[in-house]
């Protein structure tokens, strides 16, 4: 075999090897790590480089250990890619920002949902945009850290979008106008199932719930029966639930099963954004949800983990200039008051950033139709 042919083959092999290594390196650079079991996901607005205002701002999902150690940050897209849309949020507009960026975990623990705007960073007064021009976007994230932002909808014109929750491919969405919508991942249209505003959404024991900040009913209400997908649904307050103040200010909530003598969920923690409304605990007593006291403050995110006889509550204390990820250890048990409990701060936001939503991190390899 001629020497020059052999040399050309060697050069070709080296080029192929270099190409393979380059592709592998690029894939590794853009791939997200899988979430750590038992970790927390926190929604952060802002990258720290610009003062937060009314314009569309980058959004991140920061993964923290339950001790407050940062594990990784997942940047939500600021540029469209194939069918995936941009997902940004309002920077920090007073009277709006505490309504946005609420995270929800699917009841099987496999998918995390976040909502925002298909608006380039810097879009002025993003919450006031027309939704036919700036679509409202639902992001779905699985346990591998993969992000799907294909769901872009003409809903909530000239107002904010608050949250979404997913079950399988089904999505339910809430926002600043009196409609709670149903759609599916990747859809371009949605159906209003009830004419009612909502804030945080959650599914517990195959029932759809939303927190609310209107009317005089309970801070958390049931939406329809089970997991409704059609128009004409009704909402129902939780029996016996009282509210702090004259109107609800619910943002997020979590049900837990504390009392083994009661079937199903028997304790509920509600994060309220009214400064004096705080985190309120309720216990299901003789079929009614009775208040077990309040920890004062303004809160926008909450989740909880049971360990033995204790409940570890994790939450976001909200503020326009600074916010905190914290932990509360509730050792008072079923129907025990939390009024004297205190917060342990795990971490605070840096300059020009703010925390909003909070959830346990998704686990597993759920298909999100990437």
For residue range 112-122, list pLDDT tens digits in order: 999 999 999 99
3-state secondary structure labels for all residues of 320-363: CCCCEEEEEEECCCCCCCCCCCCCEEEEECCCCCEEEEEEECCC
**β-pair type (180-184, 170-175):** antiparallel
* Tens digits of residue pLDDT in 12-25: 444 433 333 333 33
Report, as an integer, the average pLDDT of 135-153. Answer: 98
- The Cα 246–Cα 23 span in angstroms is 59
What pLDDT is attached to residue 28?
Answer: 32
- Higher-scoring residue by pLDDT: 14, 84: 84
What pLDDT is attached to residue 86?
Answer: 98
* Tens digits of residue pLDDT in 326-367: 999 999 999 999 999 999 999 999 999 999 999 999 999 999
> Hey, where are the domains in the chain?
39-360
Closest residue by Cα to residue 88 from 62, 65, 56, 61: 56
Report, as an integer, the average pLDDT of 260-274. Answer: 94
What pLDDT is attached to residue 5?
Answer: 42
Closest residue by Cα to residue 275 from 296, 245, 291, 293: 296
Which residues are paired to 202 by β-bridges?
209
Q: How confident is the model at residue 248 (pLDDT cuts 50, 70, 90)?
A: confident
Q: How confident is the model at residue 94 (pLDDT cuts 50, 70, 90)?
A: confident
Closest residue by Cα to residue 254 from 288, 278, 220, 222: 220
Statement: residue 274 has pLDDT above 60: yes
Report, as an integer, the average pLDDT of 252-275. Answer: 94
* Tens digits of residue pLDDT in 293-315: 999 999 999 999 999 889 999 99
- The Cα 255–Cα 238 span in angstroms is 12
* Cα end-to-end span (Å), the chain: 49
Name the least confident of 30-34, 54-58, 144-148, 206-210: 30-34
What pLDDT is attached to residue 276?
Answer: 76
What pLDDT is attached to residue 18?
Answer: 36
Average pLDDT of the chain to the nearest whole number: 91
Name the least confident of 189-193, 278-282, 307-311, 338-342: 307-311
pTM, rounded to two decimals: 0.91
CATH superfamily membership of 39-360? TolB, C-terminal domain (2.120.10.30)
What pLDDT is attached to residue 219?
Answer: 93
């Amino acid at each position: 075999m001629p020497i020059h042919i052999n040399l050309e083959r060697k050069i070709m092999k080296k080029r192929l090897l270099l190409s393979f290594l380059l592709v592998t390196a690029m894939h590794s650079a853009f791939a997200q790590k899988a979430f750590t079991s038992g970790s927390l996901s926190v929604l952060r607005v802002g990258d720290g480089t610009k003062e937060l205002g009314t314009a569309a701002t980058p959004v991140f999902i920061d993964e923290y250990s339950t001790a407050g150690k940062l594990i990784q940050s997942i940047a939500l897209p600021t540029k469209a890619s194939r069918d995936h849309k941009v997902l940004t949020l309002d920077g920090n507009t007073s009277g709006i920002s505490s309504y946005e960026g609420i995270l929800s975990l699917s009841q099987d623990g496999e998918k995390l949902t976040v909502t925002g705007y298909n608006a380039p960073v810097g879009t002025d007064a993003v919450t006031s945009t027309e939704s036919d021009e700036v679509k409202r976007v639902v992001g779905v994230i699985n346990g591998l850290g993969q992000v799907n932002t294909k769901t872009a909808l003409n809903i909530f014109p000239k107002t904010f979008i608050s949250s979404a929750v997913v079950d399988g491919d089904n999505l339910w969405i809430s926002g600043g106008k009196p409609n709670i919508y149903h759609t599916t991942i990747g859809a371009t249209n949605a159906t209003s199932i009830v004419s009612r505003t909502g804030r945080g959404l959650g599914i517990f024991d195959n029932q759809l719930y939303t927190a609310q900040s209107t009317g005089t009913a309970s801070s958390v209400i049931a939406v329809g029966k089970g997991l409704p997908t059609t128009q004409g649904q009704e909402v129902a307050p939780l029996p016996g639930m009282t509210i702090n103040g004259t109107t609800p200010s619910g943002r997020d909530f979590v049900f837990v099963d504390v009392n083994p003598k009661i079937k199903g969920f028997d304790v509920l923690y509600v994060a309220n954004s009214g400064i004096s409304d705080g985190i309120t605990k309720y216990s299901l007593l003789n079929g009614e949800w009775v208040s077990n006291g309040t920890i004062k403050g303004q809160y926008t995110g909450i989740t909880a983990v049971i360990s033995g006889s204790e409940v570890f509550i994790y939450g976001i204390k909200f503020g326009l200039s600074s916010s905190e990820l914290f932990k509360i250890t509730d050792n008072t048990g079923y129907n025990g008051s939390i009024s004297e409990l205190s917060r342990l701060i795990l971490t605070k936001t840096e300059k020009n950033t703010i925390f909003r939503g909070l959830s346990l991190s998704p686990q597993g390899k759920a298909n999100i139709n990437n």
